[in-house]
Structure 1
Amino acid sequence: KLALTQLKENQHPGEGNFAIAGHRGYRGNRHFSRLPDVTIGDEVFLHTKEETFVYKVTDISIIEPTDVDVLDDRDGKHEITMITCTRSGKQRVAVRGVLVG
């Protein structure tokens, strides 16, 4: 309820498809409360202790909870995929971005 979580073991920012999920929440500013509001072209900043990774949003889609192929790495691509629930909770919002810096 309080944090984001990595969805794949041994994943690292800037490598392959870095996948994160988090609760959307409707009270306060949860981590992904505004994820459904992002638009294609927006930038996402992922901060680690050592670096900041910048991704540009390339795709936003509504998927079924069973559509786990959005987590797969794609050859030669360094991406981020962020997932939260739709307002009804029956589907998921999946936002994908490509590493730009």
Structure 2
Amino acid sequence: LHKLKIGSTVKIISDNKELEYKITNRYIVEPNDTSKINFSNDKKEITLITCINHAKQRLILTGELINFNLVLKIK
């Protein structure tokens, strides 16, 4: 995650769905800082969080949904 920049895209594939998100925000915060974590039912967004700097800080990435596809599995 630390290599992703604003404008990068991320694909998530799960349960026959492929969702593609464009990274719109990138924050580095202290471990207890939750001010950048916002949830809204009105927006189709993803929030990705990981530890950085030997777990001394958190990297928070948010992205907006830009593409959605159903993936059919053929057997």
The TM-score bracket by the shorter chain reads 0.7 to 0.9
> What is the total number of aligned residue pairs between the two structures?
67
C-alpha RMSD over aligned residues: 1.5
- TM-score, normalised by the number of residues in structure 2: 0.77
Displaced runs of 4+ in structure 1, greater than 6 A?
none
* Greater gyration radius: 2
Structure with a larger share of its residues in helix: 1
Structure with a larger share of its residues in strand: 2
Instruction: Say if 1:53 and 1:86 are closer, same or farther in 2 by CA, change over 3 A.
Output: same
- TM-score, normalised by the number of residues in structure 1: 0.59
Contact 1:60/1:96 (8 A) holds in 2: yes
Identity %: 34
Q: Secondary structure at the match of 1:37?
A: coil
What residue number does 2:37 align with? 71
Contact 1:61/1:95 (8 A) holds in 2: yes
Distance 2:26 2:35 in 1: 15
Contact 2:2/2:59 (8 A) holds in 1: yes
